[in-house]
Amino acid sequence: MNHAASSRRFQVFSVGVLAYTLAVILWGAFVRATGSGAGCGDHWPVCNGEVVPRAPTVQTLIEYTHRLTSGLALVLAVALCVWGLRAHAKGHPARRAAGWALVFMVTEALVGAGIVLLKYVADNASVGRAIWMGVHLVNTFLLVGAQSLVVWFSRGRASLALRGQGLVGTLLGTSVAALLLLGVSGAIAALGDTLFPAESLAHGIQQDLSETAHVLIRLRVWHPVLAVVTGALVVLVARWVARLRPSEEVRRASTAIIIIYAAQLLAGVVNLVLLAPVWMQLVHLLLADLVWMALLRLCAAGLASDAPRALPVSQGSPASTAGTV
């Protein structure tokens, strides 16, 4: 009973850490969208040379709050890793996931520090900033993914079996790569919207089509195209994997991806029509994280060592889904 109670407490804690991390990520997007990234100057970890700013501006308060909440997120990641190691036996997948979650939390902090120290904040519209934003997005996705897997494995799910997965492994790997690419393009598009806001939808389209437009504007036009193409790919893969790995967990993950991605596309259209208001950018980012989490859930269920496999289809006979690994 004590072990079961401890396991439940760890599960609740892991969910809480994931939810808090998502909130910190959204606040970080708020920092970028409001141009508050330079609120603490180019100082890190102190703020404008002070541990506690004495006469902070609104931008300083926004950036300083992000630093404080990020610091707590790092502390929680350490606690999650230590507790995960102590609560699970050697070789348990939750231990590895918790370890990777801490690694990506540390690299998240380092990337954030690099952005500040290199002055890739406020009105900086360099290609270097776009690259760092892309790196930041990928690391954020990896962090959220690792924490999501901690939650998944802490509930007693089987470990992953990456070898011998054949078509399923290829399909899921392609989807993961495509979603990461889409996320990077979204980060660059959001940066372009912040630095070069359009006065109207027509003005925004004119900006996108201009041959003299800044590179960030020319790049952001590709994001909607990638979103549609990637959406079609992810939905197709989700349905395909649900047939090849016919389990209830895979079916639920497949359904979740389709629903959330549809909401994400709708949010993207609204974001475009409303000229990317800050609140809509945050909604769009949250849905992107949820799509990513749903895809990783599909990967975890479809690539599980105990995932059932559909039997090969005989010539002229219907498929059977009774076989298991």
Which domain-ending residue is among 157, 185, 207? 157
How far is residue 325's CA from residue 309's CA, in Å, rounded to a whole number? 6
Shared-domain flag, residues 103 and 122: yes
Count: domains in the chain = 2
Shared-domain flag, residues 8 and 80: yes
Shared-domain flag, residues 32 and 145: yes
How far is residue 176's CA from residue 292's CA, in Å, rounded to a whole number? 8
How far is residue 22's CA from residue 59's CA, in Å, rounded to a whole number? 21
At residue 320, the pLDDT reads 42
Shared-domain flag, residues 32 and 98: yes
Residues linked to residue 47 through DSSP beta bridges, in sequence order: 50
Least Cα distance to 172 among 244, 250, 231, 237 occurs for 237
Both tokens assigned to 36:
């508050």
At residue 201, the pLDDT reads 78
Shared-domain flag, residues 37 and 57: yes
Helix segments in the chain, DSSP class H: 2-33, 58-87, 93-117, 127-154, 166-195, 201-209, 215-220, 222-244, 248-273, 278-302
At residue 244, the pLDDT reads 96
Q: Which residues contact 129 (CB under 8 A, 6 or more apart)?
A: 115, 120, 191
To which residue do tokens 């054949």 refer? 166
At residue 257, the pLDDT reads 96
320: phi then psi, degrees, rounded to nearest 5: -115, 145
Shared-domain flag, residues 132 and 167: no
Least Cα distance to 241 among 249, 160, 287 occurs for 249
pLDDT per residue as tens, the chain (325 positions): 456 677 899 999 999 999 999 999 999 999 999 989 989 988 888 898 898 998 889 999 999 999 999 999 999 999 999 999 999 999 999 999 999 999 999 999 999 999 999 999 989 999 999 999 999 999 999 999 999 999 999 999 999 998 889 999 999 999 999 999 999 999 999 998 899 888 887 787 778 778 778 888 888 889 999 999 999 999 999 999 999 999 999 999 999 999 999 999 999 999 989 989 999 999 999 999 999 999 999 999 999 999 999 866 544 444 444 433 3
Shared-domain flag, residues 40 and 61: yes
At residue 294, the pLDDT reads 97
Q: Which residues contact 174 (CB under 8 A, 6 or more apart)?
A: 233, 237
Shared-domain flag, residues 175 and 304: yes
Shared-domain flag, residues 107 and 230: no
Both tokens assigned to 91:
């070789």
At residue 324, the pLDDT reads 38
242 lies in which domain range? 160-313+320-324
Shared-domain flag, residues 148 and 164: no
Least Cα distance to 108 among 80, 150, 66 occurs for 66
Shared-domain flag, residues 214 and 269: yes
Shared-domain flag, residues 141 and 201: no
Which domain-ending residue is among 100, 123, 157? 157
At residue 316, the pLDDT reads 41
Which domain-ending residue is among 157, 191, 224? 157
